[in-house]
Structure 1
């Protein structure tokens, strides 16, 4: 059963959430019941595929053992070799899942959401190493790892923020606000995903014949696909965040009007924000720190550009090993680096003063660069 995929799923949520909402309005959390409901809904994802279910169970145990082992080991020793080995082991199932289509004709590994839960393990390992996570129980790990509203496609939460919400008791009237905001987000999800995204796909994308190789058709597809991707994914995120609110968890927002971004950096602060910030904090910043610490390269801009390229190249690979995903990652790396060079030149020479006109022009130009990137991402650029 695909989460938020049809009305049956939402009817099931309504039935299962009645006790949670009623207790919440009384200012109480029923954590045991909420946990059982959440894990049942996670297991329902695998109801039609026993092989995936077995792989998911083995994967969860494997990731749990890695985290518990490292947490206990870190009490006495600090080993970079062990840390990087465990990071490699934690992402190994994801890597195997990504490469199996090129090796096997029949999928035997992976499941919907493996990327996002893998990020959770990596995040926890890094924060244990940094000393930010000092205590972690098996149940706390599983609560975070198997949190069902954002299990398959995010948003990507942070362990310590999640745990604070989970352990937090409601203040008077707090749950009523959460409930209303959650319902509002769920209705927004219906508007985005089941009305706007559905209509764009049905009336435009399904009727654009790209094999005719007309420029106007390619252009129409580019714009339509960009808005479809936004409404479909933002709709899913609204569902996930809204349902999280009903459980008392403030899952972070994932989108903030990305199509009014003034530049490509601004775009990545607005589009799939939890993924963008995750890559920024755990890949970009750490790679910059490592290169500066090792003094391999002296120029700070060169270091930044290497880190940007690595970040977006990995982000492309994360989406898939197909060529269009890799090109998409490299394209955004080039945009980020190019914009930084342009911005520094503009500031140093004071060539273009900022005004309302330049802001509008920046939004229009950025929008078109973004849409072209989504055309690359769609895999239809050369069809």
Structure 2
């Protein structure tokens, strides 16, 4: 069952959450019941009528894959955590990181269209559906972040039970938002008072109502009367232009709605999962956009790819110019982001497009320091928002696969 995809899912989740909510109003928390309710929801999420063992719907291939994956990641993380103080070599870090990313890499490679023909059908049924499961990307992000923080020494303690709880947290399991282990554990350890929990519930109700407006009203109508009719006869400049607007709006409202649901359910558990969107179409430039759009993913790539690669280049003194190294880091950051979405040309093109925008804007910022603008008012602000909006929506047109 797709998370937040049907009213049945919301009904089941609400029924299971009733004891959690009652305890929350009393300023209490049952870790045992939280674990049981999470396990039940995970079984329901991964249930399958076709891909299962012994004809049992709730013993699905994806569920078994997820359990094996959790054990795999936990074994890697705990081994690296306990062995790092004795031997913190780059080789060990590289091996652990490679093994952690390996399941996701196999899924991305064998599910890509460039394999072609019958081969893709074979892999989809024999390999992808066994090693892959709903949300493998976002769970992998959590594991990779943890491994990097262990190497950096910023995580002092990891308990196996908390690790399983962090990886398997069902509200955000399929599409994020991507939480951080230290922040998650901090919320989990601190039980809100009754008054604090009431505030969380009120926020959760507001987000659920807004999520329904975004996903099931606005996104639905934009898709039904904009995206679908336009893509059926997508030819000519005007239709591409209109499709660009419609697809961008659908993408935002659909994903923002889902994110609001995930955060709201997290709040009901007393976990303040960070937000994913902050009015992204009000961005004044491309850097501002990535500080507002899919923020947990953007910040993950910033911390794990951009900052790490820039630090490595600076440490090795691969270039004399810090600006040049920053541009290379931006290129790697967005190229990997494109590859993560998929190995199709349009996904990689989307990543390279944003890399070009980031690098180009960096040159513009340097030029602007030498040539301060004469005007800075509401008109120039509105103009910068409009220009940024069109650069961003053109990127989504590339991402949609309809342009390439």
TM interval, short-chain normalised: over 0.9
Q: What SS is found at the alignment partner of 1:204?
A: helix
Contact 2:24–2:194 under 8 Å retained in 1: no
Residue 184 (structure 1) aligned with residue 206 (structure 2) = yes
Aligned equivalents of 1:129, 1:28: Cα separation in 2: 35
Distance (Å, rounded) in 1 between the aligned partners of 2:194 and 2:65? 43
Q: Distance in 2 between matches of 1:6 and 1:31?
A: 27
Aligned residue for 2:278, secondary structure, equals coil
Equivalent in the alignment of 1:315: 337
SS of the residue corresponding to residue 101 of structure 2 reads helix
Residue deviations 1:175-227 (CA, integer Å, cap 9, x gap): 00001101111111111001110111111111114545121111111000000
Range moving further from structure 2, 314-323 or 200-209:
200-209
Which of 55, 78, 83 is matched with 1:68 structurally?
A: 78
* CA distance in 2: counterparts of 1:46 and 1:331, whole angstroms: 35
Which of the residues 90, 105, 129 maps onto 2:100?
Answer: 90
Taking the aligned partners of 1:18 and 1:10, their CA distance within structure 2 comes to 12
- Residues matched between the structures, number: 382
**Map of 1:164 onto structure 2:** 186
TM-score by length of 1: 0.97
Alignment of 1:1-383 (within 5 A): 1-48=1-48, 49=51, 50-101=60-111, 102=115, 103-106=119-122, 107=124, 108-109=127-128, 110-209=132-231, 211-382=233-404
Q: Is the 8 A contact 2:231 2:243 kept in 1?
A: no
Report Cα offsets for 1:234-289 as digits up to 9, x if no partner: 00000000000000000000000000100000000000000000100111011111
| Distance in 2 separating the partners of 1:116 and 1:295 | 33
CA distance in 2, matches of 1:135, 1:263: 39
Deviation track 1:14-60 (CA, whole Å, cap 9, x = no partner) reads 11111111110011111210111112211222210332222222211
Higher mean displacement: 156-165 or 72-81: 72-81
Where do 5+ consecutive residues of structure 1 fail to align? none
Secondary structure of 2:121's counterpart equals: coil
Give the deviation of 1:352 after TM superposition. 4.4
Change (3 A) 1:111 1:31: same
Q: Secondary structure at the match of 2:179?
A: coil
CA distance in 2, matches of 1:146, 1:26: 26
CA contact (8 A) 1:192 1:235 kept: yes
- Normalised TM-score (structure 2): 0.92
Structure 2 segments unaligned to the other structure (5+ residues): 52-59
Q: Distance in 1 between matches of 2:238 and 2:25?
A: 54
| RMSD of equivalent CA atoms | 1.2
CA distance in 2, matches of 1:275, 1:295: 28
Task: Tell me, yes or no, if the aligned pair for 1:28 and 1:170 is still in contact at 8 Å.
Answer: yes
Q: Distance in 1 between matches of 2:234 and 2:382?
A: 34
**8 Å CA contact 2:286, 2:361 repeated in 1:** yes
Q: Is the 8 A contact 2:26 2:193 kept in 1?
A: no
* 1:172–1:212 distance in 2 versus 1, CA, 3 Å: closer
Distance 1:241 1:334 in 2: 32
